[in-house]
């Protein structure tokens, strides 16, 4: 009998399902007893947790442990690297909390629009201030949704009855998929300029950190509302503080740098602030519990590992090719344009890489979308793309192309409603180092895709490389490496420069204008 230990407050459905399948289940709702429980049950086969930490010493104390399941999406509280060393698979249940968060967003909109919190306090105090609490209606307003993953799409769906105009920003979702939720895709600036309410649903990373900054807040209408139920670092608090004072913006917040008791830095600017309650519903808890139990049963009975987040690299594959696949996708995305909406991904894996084509799509998808974890499997990656209306095809190799072990990545994206753009990148591994060999029609580049790189395509003529170098030097950007390729058929050249610091979009545009580039982009890997 396999023993499952659940040292957390988790809906009883997990216990019921597992016991019906013959598992021995031990549950203690008080996670404070976790250390004692681990000592009492060293024969634990599976551990199901919510946000409880699962550190190396816990894993080491359970010699028969084979799987840890996080009943929820985030697994930063679990030592996944040590778990892998011990042969322990770690899973999560992504999407289980999506509806709960979406409903919280709508609840915040309504509570703010009708002064529910303040009016409740006033009425309880014996006051009758109907004029003071004159509200607004959500119906008919323009709502901007930044990020159209599971939660963002559910927010759109939940707002359908309010007859709102829905704008959305997500460069990795097709217009057709957005249209399924009556969302019109547009750019970030348009969302902040035209929306009465903006709600954020993106992960926090180098690209999204301080995404809501002084410039974007300046675009917002006076009295508009910003809702952050995503991650604290997406909003520049100082910029929000200044914009709120100037424009009377409303700020509704449920996320903080640390989820713990104590003073919060946004308490002076948040009109409503909640203690990260997005996933805190009985239904979300039940869904996460059910999925955790079902995933464990599928893992044991069917060998399904789609939600394992600390997967090993397949036997026989050099880890450098996983990094190559990741880098090629990042470069190709920059070439096709970070704002263009992906519609199709096509790959070709040559030579010894052909048997690993399915696995290699995983690092590519994680390169294109930070929300997708690189440790998931190919089925999860293809499903992830399908949910966003993006077609994926792994092409058969052409035996006449003698490319040995190399990868080609092609992306097709919609620049606007009528125009598509395509980009193609090929690379290989040389002496253990990933190399980009070709970008579109420019071959024999062989540059290492790491750090910060800027590249320009332009009509070939003398002095352009010096012109680019001088322009970067004016911005105190130091060049560490240069690659240059000329295409005699088109009389076009491409110059790639690896530099010491990230190159801003403004600098890329300025240099592009100066040299008359037909392609200009920067990428950090």
Distance CA 393, CA 60 (A): 42
Are 3-96+282-301 and 315-449 in the same CATH fold? no
d(Cα 47, Cα 63) in Å, to the nearest integer? Answer: 12
**Structure tokens, 453:** 């790189």
Q: Does domain 98-273 have CATH number 3.40.50.720?
A: yes
Tokens 């946004």 locate to 266
Q: Which two tokens stand for residue 476?
A: 């105190």
Q: Name the pTM for this structure.
A: 0.69
Domain segments of the chain as ranges: 3-96+282-301, 98-273, 315-449, 451-525
What's the rounded Cα separation, in Å, for the pair 16 and 28? 15
Helix, strand, coil abundance in the chain, percent, nearest 5: 35, 25, 40
Q: How far apart are the C-alpha atoms of 169 and 188, rounded to whole Å? A: 6
φ/ψ region of 187 (left if φ > 0, alpha if ψ in -120 to 50, else beta) reads beta
Helices and strands per DSSP (H, E), number in the chain: 17, 21
DSSP summary character for residue 263: -
Give just the sign of the alpha carbon dihedral 135, 139, 141, 146: positive
Beta bridge partners of 421: 413
CB 210 within 8 A of CB 234: yes
Tell me the fold of 3-96+282-301.
Rossmann fold (3.40.50)
Write out the CATH class of domain 315-449: alpha beta
Q: Does domain 451-525 have CATH number 3.30.70.260?
A: yes
Contacts of 192 (CB under 8 A, 6+ apart): 144, 198, 216, 217, 219, 220
- Each residue's pLDDT, cut to its tens digit, for the chain (525 residues) gives 899 999 998 999 999 999 999 999 999 877 667 888 999 999 999 999 988 889 999 999 999 999 999 998 778 789 988 998 898 999 999 888 899 999 999 999 999 999 999 999 999 999 999 999 999 999 999 999 999 988 999 999 999 999 999 999 988 788 888 888 999 999 999 999 999 999 999 888 777 899 999 999 999 999 999 999 999 999 999 999 999 999 999 999 999 988 888 999 999 999 999 999 988 899 999 999 999 999 999 989 888 877 888 876 777 788 888 889 999 999 999 999 888 889 999 999 988 888 888 889 989 998 998 778 776 778 888 888 988 889 999 988 776 666 778 999 999 998 777 788 999 999 999 888 899 999 999 988 888 998 999 999 999 999 999 999 999 999 999 999 999 999 989 999 999 999 999 999 999 999 999 999 999 999 998
**Alpha helices by DSSP H, 48-205:** 56-60, 80-85, 98-113, 116-124, 150-158, 175-179, 188-194
């Amino acid at each position: 009998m396999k023993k499952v230990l659940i040292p957390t407050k988790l809906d009883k459905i997990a216990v019921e399902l597992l016991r019906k399948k013959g598992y021995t289940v031990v549950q203690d709702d008080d996670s404070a007893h976790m250390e004692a429980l681990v000592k009492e049950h060293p024969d634990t086969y599976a551990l199901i947790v919510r946000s409880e930490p699962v550190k190396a010493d816990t894993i080491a104390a359970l010699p028969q442990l084979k799987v840890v399941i996080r009943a929820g999406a985030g697994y930063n509280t679990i030592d996944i690297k040590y778990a892998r060393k011990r042969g322990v698979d770690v899973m999560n249940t992504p999407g289980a909390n999506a509806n709960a968060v979406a409903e919280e967003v709508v609840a915040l909109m309504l509570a703010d629009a009708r002064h529910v919190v303040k009016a409740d306090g006033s009425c309880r105090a014996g006051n009758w201030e109907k004029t003071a609490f004159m509200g607004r209606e959500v119906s008919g307003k323009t709502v901007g949704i930044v990020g159209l993953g599971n939660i963002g799409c559910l927010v759109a769906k939940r707002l359908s009855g309010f007859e709102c105009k829905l704008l959305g920003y997500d460069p990795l979702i097709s217009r057709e998929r957005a249209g399924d939720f009556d969302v019109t895709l547009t750019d970030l600036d348009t969302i902040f300029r035209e929306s009465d309410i903006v709600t954020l649903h993106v992960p926090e990373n180098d690209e999204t950190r301080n995404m809501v900054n002084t410039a974007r807040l300046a675009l917002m209408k006076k009295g508009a509302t910003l809702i952050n139920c995503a991650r604290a670092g997406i909003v520049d608090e100082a910029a929000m503080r200044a914009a709120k004072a100037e424009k009377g913006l409303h700020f509704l917040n449920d996320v903080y740098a640390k989820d713990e008791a104590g003073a919060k830095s946004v308490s002076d600017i948040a009109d409503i602030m909640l203690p990260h309650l997005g996933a805190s519903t009985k239904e979300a808890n039940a869904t996460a519990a059910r999925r955790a139990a079902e995933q464990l049963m599928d893992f044991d009975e069917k060998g399904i590992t789609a939600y394992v987040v600390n997967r090993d690299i397949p036997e026989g594959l050099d880890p450098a090719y996983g990094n190559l696949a990741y880098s090629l996708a990042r470069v190709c995305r920059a070439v096709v344009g970070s704002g263009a909406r992906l519609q199709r991904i096509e790959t070709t894996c040559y030579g010894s890489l052909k048997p690993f084509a399915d696995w290699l799509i995983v690092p590519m998808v994680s390169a294109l979308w930070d929300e997708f974890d690189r440790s998931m499997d190919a089925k999860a990656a293809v499903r992830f793309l399908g949910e966003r209306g993006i077609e994926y095809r792994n092409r058969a190799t052409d035996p006449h192309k003698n490319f040995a072990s190399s990868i080609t990545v092609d992306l097709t994206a919609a620049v606007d409603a009528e125009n598509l753009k395509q980009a193609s990148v090929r690379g290989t591994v040389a002496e253990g180092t990933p190399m980009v060999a070709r970008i579109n029609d420019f071959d024999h580049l062989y540059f290492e895709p790491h750090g910060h790189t800027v590249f320009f395509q332009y009509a070939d003529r003398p002095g352009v490389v010096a012109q680019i170098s001088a322009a970067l030097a004016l911005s105190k950007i130091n060049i560490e490496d240069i690659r240059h390729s000329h295409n005699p058929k088109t009389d076009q050249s491409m110059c790639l420069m690896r530099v010491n610091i990230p190159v801003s979009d403004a600098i890329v545009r300025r240099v592009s204008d100066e040299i008359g580039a037909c392609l200009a982009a920067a990428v950090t890997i």
